[in-house]
């Protein structure tokens, strides 16, 4: 009947020469008992728009399905003719309809390394995405592909656990142990209204499938061969980032020179590798596990992100032996060392680019870059060069890593420093602007010889495509930075929105990389965390607690732990605070305590929370991890948590009195 009505509406619209509402919207509107119409469009923005109009008919109000279904529907726009007076009634009808119908468009599952993967030999994790708050229960059904049920009934089922919930989706997971050639599986979906459907091979079914060819496929050996292997030594370790030219100098430098503020990019503070080596005890006493240094190879800039010679330590930093000494001492103190790999681009002074400029017609390096004719360096910034480069800056021409010779050169560089200095991994600058094809080659070469080398990509956005086990081990987690800053420093998102941001990553990223995510609150590319907190150290303390008390790898930018501030690049790269009178020793002790708590109580970082929730009115996030309860209070004023009164707060080392002040964190021991 609905199909007939749809075709009648088509004919009517054609006669009126009006645009036709799409079929999916039409069927949905009819299902709700509402009249589809098509006139002038007025966009409804949330529930407030009708109140901006006088009491007259609102022609067509286009309601986004995301709004109608609390951000969980992914359907076409609904076109409804509404009158101001019956707006509430109509919205109630929509809400009632949503509660009694499974939101099919919210479901997602593909049998790939994001939704179905091997965690260890014989163990597999299967994930399903659904619309938020839509399912009462989800079950995974599975069986052997090749053994008929009449000979041996291998059919099994398991209830899936909801492990994450973001703004619009819930994420369910189940881990199973199998020993088969190939597995077939499907999902049983029980909606909160009692409706039951089956989801199999990307199709919805009214009955459970009995044809294995209509089920999802899991070839066990293939998935085990492609298993995402990461260096387990790195899981949940603490990273300490150093900008070498500004961290420590082995030669005398006046305070006037060292403590310039604000600082310019051309400032020469004479920081070097020997200076870093001499101050490794500071990093160790803080509790950090990994020292990561920005580029140290020969370059004419202070930042060294425009490499002239990948095989030479910049003379201002020292020698190869100085690097070996630094690595050896760090290893002796139980710390790892990582270097920065700038393989996306070079300096124009790099030998291959020099040859292009000098011998364009006959140069053997014409395929090493992306040049539209002989390279012509712009004389002023803002002029687009005739060759590809980083950020249109002519001083950083982009390498063509699809050229086999260029790719091999870069891979050889990475292997050289791993072999000769025994560094423990690479951070890949501008990694997301280099092809997956090259990073697969890079990973294969590095992991073949150094399986425990850590490979970290720089990317400022969600990067699941680089975290499937075939390119990088992990990334700099800028989505974490944004969420933490917006909750604790900027106060622009609620406590529940903060949890939603974290759960989006938990629900979408491969579980192997999650303990390795570099959870930063600042870096050499951002303004300082303290600066972004408006110099409010209480907010900085909360940010540090968010870093240290959640899974992943807390990432400390040098100086944050003693109160170093600074605006955007280059002012975020000031000289480290070494004079004792300049250091905030109380803040340093706070960082130390957080790291100590983190390391002593592994329940804070291992596995998923027992339960977590947000109280938006008070601005609190509460995470129950069994033995411990973590509380983050991201607003001014005092929040009352009487249910935890009397529990020992490991940070203050005092019993909790039930009141938490503004921008504060608690670790409550049950």
- Residue entry with tokens 């409010």: 536
Three-state secondary-structure class, residue 595? helix
166, 289, 458, 649: the active-site residue? 458
- Phi, psi (rounded to 5 degrees) for 490: -85, -25
> Rounded to an integer, what distance in angstroms lies between the CA atom of residue 154 and that of residue 127?
21
The tokens of 538 are what? 């209480």
Per-residue DSSP letter, 20: P
Size of the chain, expressed as the number of residues it contains: 670
Residues 6+ positions from 211 with CB-CB distance below 8 Å = none
The tokens of 200 are what? 């199999």
Question: Catalytic site residue 429?
Answer: yes
> Rounded to an integer, what distance in angstroms lies between the CA atom of residue 549 and that of residue 529?
17
Q: Are 159 and 104 in contact (CB under 8 A)?
A: no
The tokens of 341 are what? 């790999």
Segment (H or E) for 474: strand 474-475
Nearest one of 614, 583, 600 to 651, comparing CA atoms: 600
Residues 6+ positions from 178 with CB-CB distance below 8 Å = 122, 124, 142, 220
> Rounded to an integer, what distance in angstroms lies between the CA atom of residue 598 and that of residue 550?
9
- Phi, psi (rounded to 5 degrees) for 576: -60, 145
- Residue entry with tokens 């060294």: 304
> Rounded to an integer, what distance in angstroms lies between the CA atom of residue 573 and that of residue 264?
9
Rg (CA), the chain: 29
- Phi, psi (rounded to 5 degrees) for 646: 95, -20
- Phi, psi (rounded to 5 degrees) for 196: -130, 125
The tokens of 423 are what? 């560094």
Interhelix angle 537-548/585-600, rounded to 10 degrees, is 20
> Rounded to an integer, what distance in angstroms lies between the CA atom of residue 576 and that of residue 253?
12
Instruction: Give the 3-state DSSP-derived string for 345-414, with helices as H, strands as E and coil as C.
Output: ECCCCCHHHHHHHHCHHHCCCHHHECECCCCCCCCCCCCCCCECEHHHCCCCEEECCCCHHHHHHHHHHH
> Rounded to an integer, what distance in angstroms lies between the CA atom of residue 133 and that of residue 129?
11
429, 473, 560, 561: the active-site residue? 429
Question: Catalytic site residue 458?
Answer: yes
In sequence order, the β-bridge partners of residue 290 are 239, 336
Q: Are 271 and 292 in contact (CB under 8 A)?
A: no
C-alpha count within 13 angstroms, C-beta hemisphere, residue 107: 21
Residue 184 CB neighbour total at 10 angstroms? 24
Which residues are designated catalytic? 429, 458
């Amino acid at each position: 009947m609905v199909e007939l009505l749809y075709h009648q509406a088509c004919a009517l619209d054609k006669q009126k020469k009006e645009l036709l509402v799409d079929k999916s919207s039409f069927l949905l509107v009819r299902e709700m008992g509402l009249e589809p119409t098509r006139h002038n469009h007025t966009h409804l923005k949330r529930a407030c728009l009708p109140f901006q109009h006088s009491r007259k008919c609102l022609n067509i109000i286009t309601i986004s399905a995301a709004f109608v279904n609390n951000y969980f529907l992914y359907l076409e726009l609904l076109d409804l003719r509404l009158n101001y007076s019956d707006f509430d009634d109509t919205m109630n009808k929509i809400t009632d309809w949503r509660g009694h119908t499974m939101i099919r468009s919210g479901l997602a599952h593909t049998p790939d390394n994001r939704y179905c993967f091997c965690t260890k030999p014989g163990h597999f994790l299967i994930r399903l995405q659904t619309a938020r708050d839509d399912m009462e229960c989800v079950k995974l059904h599975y069986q052997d592909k090749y053994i008929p049920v009449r000979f041996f009934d291998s059919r099994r089922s398991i209830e899936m656990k909801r492990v994450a919930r973001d703004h619009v989706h819930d994420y369910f997971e189940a881990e199973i142990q199998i020993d088969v050639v190939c597995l077939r599986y499907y999902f049983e979906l029980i909606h909160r209204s009692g409706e039951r459907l089956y989801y199999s091979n990307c199709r919805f079914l009214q009955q459970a499938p009995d044809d294995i060819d209509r089920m999802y496929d899991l070839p066990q050996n293939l998935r085990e061969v492609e298993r995402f292997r990461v260096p387990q030594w790195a899981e949940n370790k603490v990273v300490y980032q150093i900008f070498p030219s500004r961290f420590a100098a082995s030669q005398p430098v006046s305070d006037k020179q060292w403590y310039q503020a604000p600082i310019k990019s051309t400032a020469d503070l004479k920081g070097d590798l020997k200076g870093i080596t001499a101050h490794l005890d500071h990093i160790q006493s803080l509790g950090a596990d990994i020292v990561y240094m920005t580029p140290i190879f020969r370059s004419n800039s202070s930042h060294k992100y425009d490499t002239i010679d990948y095989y030479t330590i910049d003379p201002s930093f020292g020698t190869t032996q100085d690097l070996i000494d630094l690595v050896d001492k760090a290893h002796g103190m139980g710390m790892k060392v990582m270097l920065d790999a700038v393989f996306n681009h070079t300096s124009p002074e790099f030998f291959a680019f020099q040859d292009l400029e000098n011998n364009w017609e006959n140069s053997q390096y014409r395929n090493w870059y992306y040049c539209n004719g002989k390279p012509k360096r712009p004389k002023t910034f803002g002029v687009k060069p005739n060759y590809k480069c980083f950020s249109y800056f002519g001083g950083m021409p982009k390498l063509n890593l699809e050229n086999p010779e260029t790719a091999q050169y870069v891979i050889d560089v990475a292997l050289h420093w791993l072999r000769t200095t025994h560094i423990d991994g690479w951070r890949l600058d501008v990694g997301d602007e280099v092809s997956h094809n090259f990073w697969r080659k890079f990973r294969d070469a590095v992991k073949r010889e150094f399986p425990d080398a850590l490979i970290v990509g720089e990317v400022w956005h969600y990067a699941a495509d680089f975290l499937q086990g075939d390119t990088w081990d992990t990334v700099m987690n800028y989505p974490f930075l944004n969420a933490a800053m917006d909750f604790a420093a900027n106060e622009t998102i609620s406590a529940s929105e903060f949890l939603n941001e974290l759960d989006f990553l938990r629900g979408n990223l491969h579980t192997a990389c999650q303990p390795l995510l570099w959870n930063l609150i600042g870096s050499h590319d951002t303004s300082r965390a303290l600066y972004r907190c408006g110099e409010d150290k209480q907010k900085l303390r909360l940010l540090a607690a968010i870093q240290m008390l959640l899974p992943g790898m807390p990432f400390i930018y040098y100086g944050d732990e003693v109160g170093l501030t600074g605006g955007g690049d280059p002012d975020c790269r000031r000289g480290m605070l070494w004079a004792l009178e300049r250091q905030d020793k109380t803040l340093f002790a706070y960082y130390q305590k957080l790291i100590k708590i983190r390391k002593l109580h592994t329940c804070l970082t291992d596995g998923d929370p027992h339960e977590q929730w947000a109280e938006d009115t008070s601005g609190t996030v509460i995470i129950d991890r069994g033995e411990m309860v973590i509380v983050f209070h991201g607003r001014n004023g005092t929040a009352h948590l009487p249910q935890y009164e009397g529990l020992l707060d490991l940070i203050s080392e005092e019993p909790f009195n039930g009141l938490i002040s503004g921008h504060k964190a608690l670790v409550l021991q049950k």
